[in-house]
Structure 1
């Protein structure tokens, strides 16, 4: 392939031509992008001033096509600019009718837009709604949590939610299926002290549901745990024929974990250890396994010694 050799003067002329061409293209581009254009963007619709006595359900998608007037630069960067802020629709007119005309609210919608970035039209221009009787229901709050404790620490008592119930209002058919309402997720790591904070409730997935209050106070008691050993009497169960039965030993040692706060308060009455005589009568066992049927809340059984007891039956 032949190589064109240019003289120094020709190279300078070529360089000057390319520079002028690039400058001209950039000047044209800046001028063109500075001119006003109309372009369409898809925007999410949110609602405010929902009717208090009427539950509603939108009969169309929660997005609309908005025709926006702005510069070419704004059109070029429409995917990362404020054109994607939601359009807030005022629903106060739904108290007397079942539709909202968006063109009648363009002025207040554009007040939240940047200058020179005005919405001209919205498609569809009219939003229609279906209505049903609005009902109210009181449901318990359910805490959503992921907690990782520091070594030897754990939850030491019941979680307290204030308030423990929230009021949900909306369409009767939707409210009927709501059994509880979840909080936002509480995520704690390497925690070694009680937790108390205000936590928001999960937002409603539908615009026609109202939750009050919007947040609750969460209290999670957390304490350091240690092991404790106690001797507990064995209780015989299922002695249906009232045999005279003696078990040996009559007490077993239980090792369990307990919080430091409750360590001194736990006694034998907080436990129940049983041996089931049906294991002999029906299954032919020669020894009876022991089982803990009751223990203090938030305590964990580490071991039982012995795990079986001997017995003598006198008929």
Structure 2
């Protein structure tokens, strides 16, 4: 068995020899594969990309082992495809373009790329504004509570910028859905706008404010709601058996406390009266937002139509 001092010398010699071998070896030429993020820049101002492009491309580089090792650790590579020559759709040979466009350290070169080629479709850039849509995933309330108004988004629309053929069929834009359960208080939340088309479409703004008005619910009666006949032609007069109706509604406590009889309206359309043969008709109710109609009394209103001798 070697003496302790000789043992340390042997180990040290092996380590030095290994490091020397590794250093010499890494100075030689190697090939390595890298996944590189892909982007398109410097398109003509009035043009936009109209086809889905891969987020990354695989490139094979050749160079010294040290350089390739540094690149694999630093993750600093990206491929920005020059778009200043893309005035129309064309097929790009990736390896050829990457040799010219990628900024690589001296001594590194592009050997190949996968996919070998990609087709870049371009089209006229347009801007359009579309309403937001919010498909509620789940909305529940604690007993005795409910909506006291409409669920609102602010802003209620977004501005889209992209290629004409991409935006042509888009009539609305989604936001991220979220569940709200057992609510007893109003909700004020900020939700991100969906990025469903990735780099093809720029969406602004990126977030919207969601308001869900929640109150304790109550039932209330309004006994002197006026009845109005609309679109009565000249020379006609409609006499009503009831000038007012009673309305039973449900809504938030605070909402109901601020309402009066005149905030409601029972409407009779003359066109329906003219088509009716029974002499009675159910009114169309105009009620404030955030209020649910439970019942009206009477349910139908008797009427008489006569010539207006004063006209």
The reply to whether TM is greater than 0.5 is yes
Does 1:91 find its partner at 2:84? no
2:123 corresponds to which residue? 132
1:256 corresponds to which residue? 249
Contact 1:290–1:309, Cα closer than 8 Å, also in 2 = yes
Superposition deviation, residue 267 in structure 1: 1.1
Superimposed CA distance per residue, residues 7-33 of structure 1 (whole angstroms, 9 cap, x where no aligned partner): xxxxxxxxxxxxxxxxxxxxxxxxxxx
Contact 1:50–1:91, Cα closer than 8 Å, also in 2 = yes
Superposition deviation, residue 282 in structure 1: 4.0
Contact 1:58–1:127, Cα closer than 8 Å, also in 2 = no
Greater CA drift, 243-252 or 175-184: 243-252
Relative to the length of structure 2, the TM-score reads 0.63
2:132 corresponds to which residue? 141
Contact 2:37–2:57, Cα closer than 8 Å, also in 1 = no
Contact 1:59–1:127, Cα closer than 8 Å, also in 2 = no
Equivalents in 2 of 1:123, 1:244: separation in Å?
Answer: 82
Superposition deviation, residue 228 in structure 1: 0.9
Residue of structure 1 aligned with 2:221, choices 208, 226, 229: 229
Contact 2:152–2:211, Cα closer than 8 Å, also in 1 = yes
Superposition deviation, residue 256 in structure 1: 0.8
Contact 2:38–2:57, Cα closer than 8 Å, also in 1 = no
RMSD: 4.0
Q: Which runs of 5+ in 2 are unaligned?
A: 1-30, 61-76, 106-110
Contact 2:38–2:56, Cα closer than 8 Å, also in 1 = no
Q: How many residues align?
A: 246
Superposition deviation, residue 130 in structure 1: 2.4
Does 1:178 find its partner at 2:178? no
Equivalents in 2 of 1:182, 1:165: separation in Å?
Answer: 10
Trace 1:282-293 onto structure 2 (pairs within 5 A): 282-286=275-279, 288-293=280-285
Residue of structure 1 aligned with 2:265, choices 266, 269, 272: 272
Greater CA drift, 124-133 or 48-57: 48-57
